Amino acid sequence: MSEEQVKNLEKQFEERIARDEKIEPKDWMPEKYRQTHIRQMSQHAHSEIVGMLPEGNWITRAPSLRRKVALLAKVQDEAGHGLYLYSACETLGISRDELYEQLHSGKAKYSSIFNYPTVTWADMGAIGWLVDGAAIINQVPLCSTSFGPYARAMVRVCKEESFHQRQGYEIMIKLANGTPEQKDMAQDALNRWWWPSLMMLGPTDAESIHTEQSMKWKLKRKSNDELRQQFIDQTVPQADLIGLTIPDPDLKWNEERQSYDFGEINWDEFWQVVKGHGPMNKERMKARVGAWEGGEWVRDAAMAHAEKQQERKEKQAV
Amino acid sequence: MSEEQVKNLEKQFEERIARDEKIEPKDWMPEKYRQTHIRQMSQHAHSEIVGMLPEGNWITRAPSLRRKVALLAKVQDEAGHGLYLYSACETLGISRDELYEQLHSGKAKYSSIFNYPTVTWADMGAIGWLVDGAAIINQVPLCSTSFGPYARAMVRVCKEESFHQRQGYEIMIKLANGTPEQKDMAQDALNRWWWPSLMMLGPTDAESIHTEQSMKWKLKRKSNDELRQQFIDQTVPQADLIGLTIPDPDLKWNEERQSYDFGEINWDEFWQVVKGHGPMNKERMKARVGAWEGGEWVRDAAMAHAEKQQERKEKQAV
Amino acid sequence: MKDNLYKYILGIADNSLILGQRMGELCGHGPSLETDIACTNISLDLFGQVRSYYQYASKIAGDGRTEDDIAMLRKEREYLNVLLVEQPNNDFAYTMARHFLFDVYHFLFLTELQKSKDLTLAAIATKSLKEVSYHQRFSSDWIKRLGDGTDESQQKMQTAIDFLWTYTDELFHQTEADKAMVSEGIGVDVTKLKQAYYSKVNSILEESTLIIPESKYFQKGGKQGIHTEHMGYLLTELQYMQRAYPNMEW
Amino acid sequence: MKDNLYKYILGIADNSLILGQRMGELCGHGPSLETDIACTNISLDLFGQVRSYYQYASKIAGDGRTEDDIAMLRKEREYLNVLLVEQPNNDFAYTMARHFLFDVYHFLFLTELQKSKDLTLAAIATKSLKEVSYHQRFSSDWIKRLGDGTDESQQKMQTAIDFLWTYTDELFHQTEADKAMVSEGIGVDVTKLKQAYYSKVNSILEESTLIIPESKYFQKGGKQGIHTEHMGYLLTELQYMQRAYPNMEW
């Protein structure tokens, strides 16, 4: 293709997006669009999969059968999200094995929040309430992103996430209204998850890359700082409602902005965790790589069995 | 050596034993004596080592620090017994590796009692009281057996075992005098360990092999049935004293014999367990073989390191 | 009667509880995302069943104990599950073999339990049967895949089947509560399921090119609350929160 | 003062408790009978120390809680051990590396604690020091054997050291209780041990032909009761009997 032809295609492509048309896998797209989507969608998929671990940590110890069932269902949903996000990636011509390889080698990232340990049962509440809460704020705009498979996956993901978020908040309500020990447990979880949740919404705009292009492709509609403010403004009243205290002495309602002012985020910690030195980075990768390598003989067997079955069928057909 | 010379040596050998002289590793001995001692001492050693597992099972869950310390010390003693019994075997020209190989392949036996699971904390009491109790009855006569290293090892073993036995009984006393739950736990343990402990003293005399020869070599002084009777007569009053009931409806004091009559032993169960089909046979072997195979690289490294050190020393000497 | 019914329900429920707990351990650690989802789903089904049973048991007991009290606050010696379901997830072959050997029984059992005169139990059975039918398909498929897969997988599956085989016979042991409930037309006579069980199991093993074990010796004890040494550790986790924070709501 | 002393004792005791528990897990599963005996012995030493500390803590608290209550009935967030000691026995290299990295600290710490104005602590330190001197020799020897052994053992030991290294820095963090006790002449200023620690550790690693890790990033949290996910499981076992059978004597 001549350079001009490419330019022309690119123009048409950008116009389609501007008209809010969906891009489908078979459509022509710029290589950078493809790569950016693989990167973002797989990062999202990996986050779902790695995100199963901190919650999976409490399945065997859930305090009641009802909570155990709900937690299992939630973790299953996350695996499901992972599954259709990987599928969406695969429509762009990359295999699941390649995606796993990127995760396991550290080339691909996943949400840093999952590198914190789940220390008490209340963390199941805090994760649902705060982490899923922040995730929704990140993801809702993606329901109308330009790439069709991603947008459609996001509609389903957001619906389920919002259920998880309510479920998490409900755990916190129960604890906050419980015995003093339970209330302490809830407050402690909020203390530990608050700042990492704020960091989840990404580096400050000043340090954020990819933003302009992403805006154009509708991969992003608001800046990280705007999303963070939205999250805070939404969450603080929820904490107030159940009598928990946000662990930020600088947090204050700003009448003028009609928004909360808040304290400084420890970006050193953020970058330490992103770079692989968070409390649980090594353990998370060990668990994922361990599952993958330990399961190789199983996948090989399934493949071998399928081939044998196929051969038998063919022989019978002869 | 001529046949006559051998006969002569054998005669002298038997006379030495009859005079209560100790046979030492460097002394001449009939091959069968050597083999019998390797078999019995290694079986004894293996029993100590495998016997660490059912008790080891409660170390992390011991109910108090005092009990945890005592249990650790006991298990350590058992490892120590294993160690000097293996050493005694080695004096007869067999290596520890060969002995392990016999254990792991199932060629060598160990006491069947260790193929029962330790289900509750009270089992730590019952094992000390009953299993060590029965072991002592088996072993005390061995303190004056003919083979010197075995006899000397047994003196030490018996001293420690008798400490363990008291310690076990003391656990039972505490439980029997405790809450109803604790008393139930103690009774339940006695119910489960009583019959296996009786079986520990070996098959009935009618089915027992090796006995005559063993008597001559002082490897045995009383028959299995005599030892069993001794164990029962000694243990029943101990149970009475702390208000526990021996789980045998046929148990009755026989005024004439000045001994207890007791019910029939389920020898089918005995043979099932001896043949490797007890509740924990597979698990015990899996644990031992797993430790051995899993530790191979460690032992190899230790060897390699020692060789390197040796080489360095030699080089320096040059 | 009440006491026997209560014990009878526990005998059923505890199997699903302990098996569900074992499956729950795997979450996020399975050999593929699809198996992770399936195992989590199976665990979920089992805990769902468990809740119905214990809620009913709680009603029968009528002493104020809730489903959670019954599930999580008994002593080890009071759990009545068969030894099979408490066996650990040594590897995926063990996990699937354990499940398969239980599923075939579970399916036959629930099919009969549907006819119980006790309408609550019959209703739980009917609801559960659909789920268990899927479990059985899932685990049977994996027996076939691993049995008739690679040499390595075949060997691993054979090892698992051989190991777990000795725990199958206990499924067909009748307890006192069983006998009482059978005579009331409430319980299932498990002794009558044995033939259909081994016939089904054997046919799948054969199809999977696996050798049917020939052991004459079997293990038992679970139904009397005498468990293997694995059970205690499973319970430390299952019960931790209820023990550490007694009498609280979650 | 009382509160700080109590916390200070727990900070010391919890390290030995959790490490002792980890060593106790290995009983009967070590690579050789000799190491089994040594590991059991070390566990025994540690629990012995633990009892002295908690008995003293119990006296200081003066609220009727016994050594066992303090050892086994706290919530996870109330255990103050460093993260290092709770790391699991992944393999024998991890076990020995964890022990070594703690022993070198432990030895330096107790040497200083002997000079404490608190005579009980000083006496426990003196008694423990003999034991810990043996622990340090034992674990150092294994670092050398495995580091300078075969290629496989060297690689395993290097992996273990690399993994555990990030938990070493926390040993030298001062808590509020630390500061208060240092100012009273009771506590040890751990910040002053750091140099001697790394100098000793590094020299052993070098002698063992191992690479000294160069991480700039370290983990912390244990001293504030924020533990890794391994801790919860360790506690389910440690606490099981005390939780399941409350207020009983054993």
Average pLDDT by stretches of 10, chain B with 318 residues: 88 93 95 95 97 97 98 97 95 96 95 97 98 96 94 94 96 98 98 97 82 84 93 98 98 97 95 93 96 97 96 87
Residue keyed to tokens 């490897």? B219
- The burial of C183, by beta-carbon neighbours within 10 Å (0-12 exposed, 13-18 middle, 19 or more buried), is given as exposed
Helix crossing, C92-113 with C2-25: angle to 10°?
Answer: 150
Q: Which residue of A has its CA nearest to D236?
A: A61
> Contacts of residue C248 in chain D, CB cutoff 8 Å?
none
| Min Cα–Cα distance to chain B from C206, Å | 25
> Contacts of residue B179 in chain D, CB cutoff 8 Å?
245, 248
Cross-strand pairs, B252: B261
Average pLDDT over residues C119-130: 98
**H or E, element range at B253:** strand B252-254
| Min Cα–Cα distance to chain A from C196, Å | 27
Position C135 scores a pLDDT of 98
Test A305 with C156 for CB contact under 8 angstroms: no
Report the distance separating Cα D124 and Cα D56, nearest Å: 10
| Min Cα–Cα distance to chain D from A170, Å | 23
Locate all alpha helices (DSSP H) within chain A, ordered by sequence: 3-18, 31-56, 65-90, 96-104, 122-126, 132-139, 148-176, 180-200, 211-216, 224-241, 267-272, 281-294, 296-317
Helix crossing, A296-317 with C119-147: angle to 10°?
Answer: 80
Q: What one-character-per-residue DSSP string does C92-138 give?
A: HHHHHHHHHHHHHHHHHHHHHHTT-SSHHHHHHHHHHHHHHHHHHHH
**Tokens standing for residue B41:** 């001492």
Selected residues 42-61 of chain A with any CB under 8 Å from a CB in chain C: 49, 52-53, 56, 59-61
Partner D contacted by B308 (CB < 8 A)? yes
> Contacts of residue B298 in chain D, CB cutoff 8 Å?
31-32, 35, 92, 146, 153
Position C239 scores a pLDDT of 98
Q: What one-character-per-residue DSSP string does B50-87 give?
A: HHHHHHHTTTTT-SSHHHHHHHHHHHHHHHHHHHHHHH
Q: Which residue of C has its CA nearest to D76?
A: C244
User: What is the interface pTM, i.e. ipTM, of the complex?
Assistant: 0.95
Q: Which CATH class is domain D2-244?
A: mainly alpha
Radius of gyration of chain A (CA): 22
A41, A189, A274, D198 from A168: Cα distances, Å: 25, 12, 25, 44
Test A61 with D236 for CB contact under 8 angstroms: yes
Q: Which residue of C has its CA nearest to D237?
A: C236
Average pLDDT over residues C108-137: 98
Residues 6+ apart with CB under 8 A from B154: B139, B142, B143, B145
> Contacts of residue B181 in chain C, CB cutoff 8 Å?
75
- With 70 as the cut, is the pLDDT of residue C1 above it? no
Selected residues 104-123 of chain B with any CB under 8 Å from a CB in chain D: 121
Cross-strand pairs, A261: A252
Position B210 scores a pLDDT of 64
Locate all alpha helices (DSSP H) within A120-147, ordered by sequence: 122-126, 132-139
- Give me the percent of chain A exceeding a pLDDT of 70: 99
Report the distance separating Cα A187 and Cα A174, nearest Å: 12
**H or E, element range at B20:** none
Provide the CB-side half-sphere exposure for D175 (13 A, CA): 24
- With 90 as the cut, is the pLDDT of residue A188 above it? yes
Test A279 with D219 for CB contact under 8 angstroms: yes
Q: Please check whether residue B63 is in contact with residue B124, taking contact to mean a CB–CB distance below 8 angstroms.
A: no
Average pLDDT over residues D196-213: 98
Give the count of beta carbons closer than 10 Å to the beta carbon of residue B277: 18
Average pLDDT over residues D207-212: 98
**Tokens standing for residue C201:** 């199991």
> Contacts of residue A283 in chain D, CB cutoff 8 Å?
228-229
Residue of D166, D198, D203 whose CA lies nearest to D82 = D166
Question: Neighbours of A (≥3 Cβ pairs closer than 8 A)?
Answer: C, D
Position B318 scores a pLDDT of 72
> Contacts of residue D219 in chain A, CB cutoff 8 Å?
279
Partner A contacted by D31 (CB < 8 A)? no
Test D248 with B83 for CB contact under 8 angstroms: no
A80, A102, C93, D71 from A185: Cα distances, Å: 30, 37, 39, 20
- With 90 as the cut, is the pLDDT of residue A6 above it? no
Q: Please check whether residue B114 is in contact with residue B50, taking contact to mean a CB–CB distance below 8 angstroms.
A: yes
* Per-residue pLDDT reduced to its tens digit, D129-178: 999 999 999 999 999 999 999 999 999 999 999 999 999 999 999 999 99
Average pLDDT over residues A3-12: 91
Q: Which of B61, B174, B300 sits opposite D241 (nearest CB)?
A: B61
Partner C contacted by D29 (CB < 8 A)? no
Position D82 scores a pLDDT of 98
Q: Which of the 8 DSSP states describes residue D26?
A: T
Q: Which residue of B has its CA nearest to D72?
A: B64
Partner A contacted by D223 (CB < 8 A)? no
| Min Cα–Cα distance to chain D from B299, Å | 7
Report the distance separating Cα B111 and Cα C240, nearest Å: 35
| Min Cα–Cα distance to chain C from B117, Å | 6
Q: Which residue of C has its CA nearest to A295?
A: C31
> Contacts of residue D75 in chain A, CB cutoff 8 Å?
181
* Per-residue pLDDT reduced to its tens digit, A90-124: 999 999 999 999 999 999 999 999 999 999 999 99
Partner B contacted by C217 (CB < 8 A)? yes
Partner D contacted by C244 (CB < 8 A)? yes
Q: Is B21 helix (H, G, I), strand (E, B) or coil?
A: coil
Question: Neighbours of B (≥3 Cβ pairs closer than 8 A)?
Answer: C, D
Partner B contacted by D43 (CB < 8 A)? yes
Partner D contacted by B179 (CB < 8 A)? yes
- With 70 as the cut, is the pLDDT of residue D98 above it? yes
Q: Which of B49, B63, B86 sits opposite D241 (nearest CB)?
A: B63
Residues 6+ apart with CB under 8 A from C43: A59, A72, C20, C21, C23, C24, C27
Count of CB pairs separated by less than 8 Å, C with D: 24
> Contacts of residue D236 in chain C, CB cutoff 8 Å?
236-237, 240
Q: Which CATH class is domain A17-266?
A: mainly alpha
In single-letter form, the type of residue at position C98 comes to R
**H or E, element range at B194:** helix B180-200
Position A210 scores a pLDDT of 64
Q: Which residue of A has its CA nearest to C71?
A: A65
Partner D contacted by C78 (CB < 8 A)? no
Test B120 with C76 for CB contact under 8 angstroms: yes
Residues 6+ apart with CB under 8 A from A102: A42, A108
Test C239 with D244 for CB contact under 8 angstroms: yes
> Contacts of residue D41 in chain B, CB cutoff 8 Å?
76
Report the distance separating Cα A123 and Cα A175, nearest Å: 11
Q: Which of B54, B181, B277 sits opposite C217 (nearest CB)?
A: B277
| Min Cα–Cα distance to chain A from D100, Å | 21
Partner A contacted by D221 (CB < 8 A)? yes
Report the distance separating Cα B147 and Cα A150, nearest Å: 81
Task: Verify B-A touch: 3 or more CB pairs within 8 A.
Answer: no
| Min Cα–Cα distance to chain B from D35, Å | 10
Average pLDDT over residues D182-193: 98
Test A60 with C25 for CB contact under 8 angstroms: yes
Residues 6+ apart with CB under 8 A from D30: B291, B295, D36, D39, D92
Chosen for mutation from A119, A183, A184, A271 (greatest number of chain D CBs closer than 10 Å) is A119
Q: What one-character-per-residue DSSP string does B291-310 give?
A: HHHHTHHHHHHHHHHHHHHH
Q: Which of A54, A188, A279 sits opposite D221 (nearest CB)?
A: A279
Give the count of beta carbons closer than 10 Å to the beta carbon of residue D175: 17
Test B69 with D34 for CB contact under 8 angstroms: no
| Min Cα–Cα distance to chain A from C227, Å | 19
Q: Please check whether residue B164 is in contact with residue D227, taking contact to mean a CB–CB distance below 8 angstroms.
A: no
> Contacts of residue B283 in chain C, CB cutoff 8 Å?
228-229
- Please report which confidence band the pLDDT of residue A1 belongs to, taking 50, 70 and 90 as the band edges: confident
